[in-house]
Chains A and B, each alone.
Chain A
Amino acid sequence: MRDEGDKLVCEKSVMLKKGRIEVTLYILRSNWKRYKKNKAGVLGLFLVFFFIVVALGAPLISRVDPLRTMVGPPSVQPSLTYPMGTDDLGRDVFSGFVHGARISLFVGIMTALMSAGIGVALGAIAGYKGGKIDSAIMMITNMFLVVPSFFLCLVIVAVFGATIGNVIVVIAVLSWPSTARLIRADFMSLKETEFVEAARAIGASDLDIVLKEILPNALTSIIVNTSLLVANSILVMAGLDFLGLGDPNVPSWGKMLMNAQPFLRQSWWMALFPGIAILLTVMGYNLVGDGLNDLLNPRLKER
């Protein structure tokens, strides 16, 4: 008897779990249906997904150490053994292409999250509170904006050492001001809306209003902006690497470009493949940003 009862309970919970999964699948499917309408967004998603897979599977896709020299003869054209050729020191370009995706994505996503965190928090406070707090925060923001950030990046990395950690922190610290300004503008207009007034009339606290009323309305710009930040960070990091200020112990596309520079006319493949990789990743994140914008804006939903 008891066994049967337990069995029943067990089945029920399995059914319940199944139900939840089905609901999630349904939500995903219906969102995908709408996202799919934006062809460029689909392409972007495909690119992002492709590079994520490459990054995660890098050690399986190419077993050759991308930093090891004399894997093959130097400056070999792309062939079956070396799909993207080898560079002047006999390193496998394909391996660099695959392993470079890892570091690009890691740095891009980490910096984007960090800078979005700082930017959203400061922008929200400034926009919502207004007055002196706003002035103070905006003064700091503008100070960051006045400084040519790429050169500041160069200096800081040159002084403090070119480790991945430093690069991430530096890019994040220098890229939050644009987010802060964007979010501040959003908050300033949103806090005047009538639904915020209605929320206040119903007794919502400032924190409630910021988190539940305004933030969801600003989420579109936050998410879109974050995906653009990923693209931007990848570009900045490639720039640093290109100038020789990347972490020397990590394979990266920017550094491959730097190495390729003197050999552009002899070994075009050295520059072409990392260049394409940077182009496609950055483009992918930009297109995904656009696609998400269309998806997340509820006013566009029923179209």
Chain B
Amino acid sequence: MTVSSEEPLLTIRELRTHFFTSQGIVRAVDGIDLRVDREQTVGLVGESGCGKSTVAMTIMKLIPMPGKVISGSIVFNGKDLLKLSEDETRRLRGRELAMVFQDPMTYLNPVMKVGDQISECVVLHQETPKKDAKKEAIKLLEKVGIPSASRVVDYYPHQLSGGMRQRVLIAMALSGNPLLLIADEPTTALDVTVQAQILKLIEGLKEDYHSSLLLITHDLGIVASMCDKVYVMYAGKIVEQGDVLDLFENPKHPYTSALISCSLSIDEYKKDLFAIGGTVPNLINPPSGCRFHPRCPEAKDICHIEEPQPVKIDGEHIVSCWLHMQKGG
């Protein structure tokens, strides 16, 4: 199958990933569409528990135990991921698809030297002979901005700081020169001072490697500074999507507006922090109609009853909200 470079790198259609727990079916991802173009940075934002990470794990095909993909398709680089065998997926992981995780403390093997962990990836992906792998590991460590890399290769993870470990994990993710890098809240566990460095690093490396980036976060500031396109996710569904500038300047969905008002800024001193009332709904029994209606300040009668369909505002900007459905017709 030939793949034209014009084709989007990743297209997710109507994806549903449910978890079959003893309490009931958790609809963590309930019919989402998502697209990542080549060399694009796409943000996926939402509160904790809205299903962002499940999307990432589904793309990697690493859904934890009671989870299962119910329907939908994930076409990545011309291949339908959900139809690939376990062996084929394994060959894809790391080489074409790579992931940077949330908590760098626990994602490194505690009894292996950092250098060995990276060289293992290098040997796996680049078919480099073992003895050159260490050199390659040092090179990668230098690339992710670790000072005195030739010494750090012989360190164990516990000898590194959080920021350094995240750099190591990024180095491992990049060892296979992936087409798509999924970063699942890569800076949540880090100090604010280190966050900016790591983000800048990821952005720079993404440019160097001509990769695409799917950035999963709840921090709108990060999205605004890094992404080309944003998807706003709420309770397993995409509620709004669009170009970053468009969406931030002109949010259509009440949830998006609320998220934006929640984000802190030093410039404008707010005495009372804004918070969205209520919590993310229970995904075993999601609210009827629009899932946001119990917390929505502008909810109308119809919101309780029927689910809104996506409406195109302009170009890429699409929103699923009754406020706009009526206007659009």
Q: CB within 8 Å of B: which residues of A?
A: 193-195, 197-205, 208, 212-213, 216-217, 219, 298-299, 301-302
Contacts and interface: CB of A to CB of B under 8 A. Distances in A.
B107 A197 contact: yes
Given A201-B94, A203-B90, A298 B156 contact: yes
Contacts of A195: 106-110
Interface of B: 60, 62, 90-95, 98-99, 101, 103, 106-112, 120-121, 124-125, 156, 158-159, 169, 172-173, 175-176
A204 B99 CA distance: 13
Contact of A193 (B91, B98, B106, B120): B106
Nearest to B120: A212
Given A212-B112, A212-B120, A217-B111, A198 B172 contact: yes
B93 A203 contact: yes
B109 A201 contact: no
B325 to A, nearest CB: 39
A202 B107 contact: no
A203 B110 contact: no
A301 B157 CA distance: 12
A213 B172 CA distance: 14
17 contacts: A194-B101, A194-B106, A194-B107, A197-B107, A198-B101, A198-B108, A200-B90, A201-B93, A201-B94, A202-B94, A203-B91, A203-B94, A204-B120, A205-B90, A298-B110, A298-B111, A301-B158
B54 to A, nearest CB: 14
Contacts of B106: 193-195
A212 to B, nearest CB: 6
Contacts, number: 76
B329 to A, nearest CB: 45
Nearest to B172: A202
Given A216-B112, A217-B109, A198 B124 contact: no
Contacts of A200: 62, 90, 93
Contact of A202 (B111, B158, B159, B176): B176
B92 A203 contact: yes
A208 B124 contact: yes
A195 B173 CA distance: 13
A217 B158 CA distance: 14
Contacts of B111: 216-217, 219, 298
Nearest to B93: A203
B125 A198 contact: no
B109 A202 contact: no
Contacts of A302: 158-159
Given A197-B101, A202-B172, A216-B111, 14 more contacts: A193-B106, A194-B101, A198-B99, A198-B107, A198-B172, A201-B62, A201-B94, A201-B99, A203-B92, A203-B125, A216-B112, A298-B156, A299-B158, A302-B158
Contact of B93 (A193, A202, A216, A217): A202
Contacts of B156: 298, 301
Nearest to A296: B111
Q: Which of B101, B110, B111, B158 gathers most chain A CB within 10 Å?
A: B111
Contacts of A216: 109, 111-112
Contacts of B158: 298-299, 301-302
Contacts of A201: 60, 62, 93-94, 98-99, 101
A171 B112 CA distance: 34
Contacts of A204: 90, 94, 120, 124
A187 B109 CA distance: 14
Nearest to A194: B106
Contacts of B124: 202-204, 208
B165 to A, nearest CB: 11
Nearest to B173: A202
A114 B14 CA distance: 54
A197 B120 contact: no
A227 to B, nearest CB: 19
- Across the A-B interface, the 3 shortest Cβ-Cβ residue pairs: A203-B94, A203-B93, A202-B94
A46 B122 CA distance: 43
B110 A202 contact: no
Contacts of B94: 201-204
A202 B124 CA distance: 9
A199 to B, nearest CB: 8
Contacts of B159: 302
A13 to B, nearest CB: 18
B110 A299 contact: yes
Contacts of B175: 202
Nearest to B103: A194
A297 to B, nearest CB: 9
Contacts of B91: 203
Contacts of B169: 198
Nearest to B95: A203
Contacts of B176: 202-203
Q: Which of A199, A213, A217, A219 gathers most chain B CB within 10 Å?
A: A199
A158 B134 CA distance: 56
Contacts of A203: 90-95, 124-125, 176
Contacts of B99: 198, 201
A198 B171 CA distance: 13
Nearest to B105: A194
